[in-house]
Amino acid sequence: IEKQMKTTVVLYPSLGAGHLNPMVELAKVFLRRGVSVIVAVVDSPDAMGRLAIANPDIAFQHLPVPPTGKDDKYSHPIMRTIDVLRAANPALRSFLLELPAPVDALVVDMFCTDAIDVAAELDIPAYFFFTSALADLAIMLHLPYNFPRTASLKDMPEAVLHFPGVPPIRAMDMATTMQDRESDIARARLHQCPRMPEARGFLVNSFDWLEARALEALRRGLCTPGRSTPPVYCIGPLVQPGNTNTGRSWERHACLEWLDTQPNRSVVFLSFGSMGTFSAAQLRETARGLENSGHRFLWVVRYPPEHQQSKSMEPEDLEALVPDGFLERTRERGLVVRNWAPQMEVLRHDAVGAFVTHCGWNSALEAIVSGVPMICWPLYSEQRMNKVHLVEEMRLGVVVEGYEKELVKADQVEAKVRLVMESDEGKKLRERIVMAKEMAADALKEGGSSDVAFGEFLKGLKKKSSAELKT
Ligand code: UDP
């Protein structure tokens, strides 16, 4: 009986490790609260296997999905995601029906909108786990009300859009998926947005202090005029712990050894998410900016997209991509890492003083919990919106001018590095992000806002479960 009474939730991430990892962090929060979790995974069998070994307390279930048969024909990777997830609905349904006892909630990722149909059919409360900024949720919920109906955003880049609780946003800074209103992807997303309030609530990887205005707007129902906004629970920041769960924690990346030899807060770290790449011209320009700044740097570099290389970058190719003699001249104060660096551990290192980031939300949260000011260089998807939140609302970073143009110039890279590393404004940014770091830690403490929000969410679940038991 004890076992049957235990609250159980199914977590349902979207495709890819980038969605699976945050769900596993969420699973750990449930476990700490004594809730059983099953993570149902549609693809990424390798990542799932690794995570299952590292997290023996979490149950993982692989859901088989029939091939959609049109893998090459998608106009956008998210179109494939939406299609595959829709095709996964029957497998999700059978899996939920075959469980020994009904689960208390289905928590779905922001792209799994179709799964809420399965939850509705089986009478399981469905919640979204939103892994971008709360302000992005406010924008998505409000988008059906103010999305321009006559022209595409890309044709009016300077037009200013207004969303409750969010600074005014230029059309060009809206998500790349929404830029062309005639595109499949914009249509699909516009279809998803008004369905989101069908969920029972939103768990969000953010914290109240960080996004107070967006939270207020959502709570007051300003983002969904005429219909109620489901409750919002900011339960973050949940970030990956760093090396501890890779199973190889004794192997320390060489760049961390290098950071050990650098003075405190002296190094500028440049890293652009799991997919960020730059043209060869931009790599040269960035190299010149870093060199001219005179500051120390740790820079993660990948093949430019025009190289169409899918393999890891080789040292000799790197030589060819940066200005002649650059690596030699900066040998004493710079380290270029090919392809990938252990970002969380780098950001936590005392030697790091600034972070040049593409503004992916996980990267932003990692900068916040490490107290490292950001130089924002948004590239794709919702990153330009995050840049607006980080710079204008939260005041935790500055922007590199020209990010929307073909090339960010070397002197701009130099100027922003100097601003953060040398100026009073940089000092203020650092003080503010150190405050945000403290506020994040407070939010997660027992009795902190994120802890309380999670408790409220669980209370809601349990209330429903016990009401059902009585009937
Ligand atoms: N990351 C990393 N090393 C790298 C690049 C990325 O560890 O060289 C990690 C980073 O710490 C973050 C994630 O990959 O947790 C990227 O997530 P984010 O939301 O910032 O960007 P996305 O990859 O989704 O664009």
Ligand 1 touching residue 240 (CB < 6 A): yes
Ligand 1 touching residue 393 (CB < 6 A): no
Is pLDDT above 80 for 309? no
Mean pLDDT check: name the lowest of 64-68, 289-293, 418-422, 438-442: 64-68
- CA 274 / ligand 1 centre spacing (Å): 5
The string of pLDDT tens digits covering residues 29-56 is 999 999 999 999 998 888 888 899 999 9
Highest mean predicted confidence (pLDDT) among 57-71, 363-377, 450-464: 363-377
**Atom number in ligand 1 closest to CA 381:** 25
**Atom number in ligand 1 closest to CA 274:** 23
**Residue 84 to residue 44: CA distance in whole angstroms:** 13
User: What mean pLDDT comes out for the span 124-128?
Assistant: 98
Task: Label residue 17 by pLDDT band (50, 70, 90).
Answer: confident
> In the annotation, is 109 catalytic?
yes
What's the chain's average pLDDT?
93
Residue 403 corresponds to which tokens in the numbers above?
Answer: 């990010």
- CA 377 / ligand 1 centre spacing (Å): 14
**Atom number in ligand 1 closest to CA 361:** 19
- CA 312 / ligand 1 centre spacing (Å): 17
User: What mean pLDDT comes out for the span 120-135?
Assistant: 97
* Residue nearest to ligand 1 atom 17, measured at CA: 362
Q: Quick check: 110 and 382 in contact, CB under 8 A?
A: no
**Residue 224 to residue 3: CA distance in whole angstroms:** 39
Ligand 1 touching residue 293 (CB < 6 A): no
- CA 364 / ligand 1 centre spacing (Å): 10
**Which residues have a Cβ under 8 Å from the Cβ of 240 and sit 6 or more positions away?**
21, 25, 344, 362, 366
Burial class, 198, CB count within 10 angstroms (exposed 0-12 / middle 13-18 / buried 19+): middle
pLDDT at 313: 82
Neighbours of 436 (CB within 10 A): 22
Task: Label residue 2 by pLDDT band (50, 70, 90).
Answer: very low
Ligand 1 touching residue 427 (CB < 6 A): no
Among residues 83, 104, 109, 208, which one is catalytic? 109
Ligand 1 touching residue 273 (CB < 6 A): yes
The predicted complex's ipTM stands at 0.99
User: What mean pLDDT comes out for the span 205-215?
Assistant: 98
Ligand 1 touching residue 132 (CB < 6 A): no
Amino acid code (one letter) for 88: A
**Atom number in ligand 1 closest to CA 360:** 20
User: What mean pLDDT comes out for the span 153-165?
Assistant: 97
Degrees to nearest 5, angle at CA 410 with 405 and 414: 120
**Atom number in ligand 1 closest to CA 366:** 11
Task: Label residue 243 by pLDDT band (50, 70, 90).
Answer: low
Place of tokens 């600074």: 167
Ligand 1 touching residue 274 (CB < 6 A): yes
**Residue 107 to residue 393: CA distance in whole angstroms:** 29
pLDDT at 127: 98
* Residue nearest to ligand 1 atom 11, measured at CA: 343
How many residues comprise the chain? 471
Please enumerate, as own/partner, the contacts of 463-470 that have beta carbons within 8 Å and a separation of 24 or more.
464/104, 464/125, 465/7, 465/104
* Residue nearest to ligand 1 atom 16, measured at CA: 273
Shortest CA distance to 215 belongs to which of 116, 138, 324, 313? 138
- CA 361 / ligand 1 centre spacing (Å): 9
